[in-house]
Amino acid sequence: MFLLLGATGYIGQAFAKELTRRGQSFIPLSRSALDYTRFELLFNYVRNIQPEFLINAAGFSGRPNMDGCETERMKTFQANTLLPQTIARVCLMTHTPLGHVSSGCFYAGAKVFENGELRLEQDLGRGEVRALFESNPERFFGFKELDEPNSSFRNPPCSFHSGTKALAEEALRGGHQTYIWRCRLPFNELDHPSNLLTKLQSYDRVYDQITSISHLDDYVSACLDLVEAKAAFGIYNVTNPGAVTTRRVAELAQARLRPGRPLNYWASDEEFYRSAKAPRLSCILDVSKLSRAGVKMRSAEEAVEDALSRWQIDARREWRRLLDEVPA
């Protein structure tokens, strides 16, 4: 039996759906049912039910986006840094294997092959870098699991969200019977405020960046495949192979879902940061370790196309959007 923390969240719901599909018994737990931020409560609960595995899908990513973490720093720190340490301590004391949902948000850039060697390019927004990616994407390589974060409190600049996620990994790294599963800009076919495809459709202007992405259903399936295969514990980058540009994803979404609607983009970082609070540092993650463990994921572009072909609109959100567009 599995114990799933953060079961009502965007990623937690996806884990619940996949566990159900696999016929795996599990207890979905939210803070409204048990305040698992309190060590004593969680320790006694885990000790009593004795789960064979615990999944931590709880966390705080900000509302409506990561800028919310800049204004709610205590909430962000408690959810993204302190809570994972509490859970890890409980798992250690009860000998319970742990799977922790993490992120690749504390990396900036990619490794670019030029002149016979790899160099680190931290700014994937530069025009010449984007042009090179469009013409030669095979020359871009991602960060591996053991690469040190280069966008964290130890290596600024970083967003507060990224800093807290990096601190959690630092505390959990090398932990007893612990998986750390890194996700990047999750999406699937279900319209949701946390879905990358939903966000790109709702923005007045798109911030164009080169990035790795994770189809949410592919992500949770890959994480559970690692558990079922008894793969070695440790950190895994769990993204769909092949980076994309958010411009390309937005164009695909517009063509499929809202043809005729004009797409607008921020002219420059300077213009974008006049309204944004947190740094938006894109990155590419290397998924070769996941592949070596025997877990395969379809390409990023294939996953996007599939999600768009099966898109399910949240009727309530769409109705509110249409009302907002009615002239006063």
Q: Where are the domains of the chain?
A: 2-319
The pLDDT value recorded for residue 322 is: 42
Strand partners, 211: 244
CATH of 2-319, one of 1.10.10.10, 3.30.1360.20, 3.40.50.720, 3.90.550.10: 3.40.50.720
pLDDT (tens, 9 = 90+) of the chain, 328 residues, equals 999 999 999 999 999 999 999 999 999 998 889 999 999 999 999 999 999 999 999 999 988 788 889 999 999 999 999 999 999 999 999 999 999 999 999 999 999 999 899 999 999 988 899 999 999 999 999 999 999 999 999 999 999 999 999 999 999 998 889 999 999 999 999 999 999 999 998 888 898 899 999 999 999 999 999 999 999 999 999 999 999 999 999 999 999 988 878 889 888 777 877 777 777 779 999 999 999 999 999 999 999 999 999 999 865 555 455 445 444 4
Residue 326 has what pLDDT? 43
- Could you give the residue ranges of the DSSP H alpha helices within the chain? 10-21, 39-49, 67-71, 73-77, 83-94, 127-135, 160-172, 196-202, 216-228, 246-257, 269-272, 288-292, 300-309, 315-325
Structure tokens at 29: 């737990």
Please state, in angstroms and rounded to a whole number, the distance separating the CA atoms of residues 19 and 25. 7
Q: Shortest CA distance to 100 belongs to which of 86, 118, 116?
A: 86
In this prediction, residue 317 carries a pLDDT of 53
| Structural element, H or E, at residue 292 | helix 288-292
pLDDT at 72 (0 to 100): 95
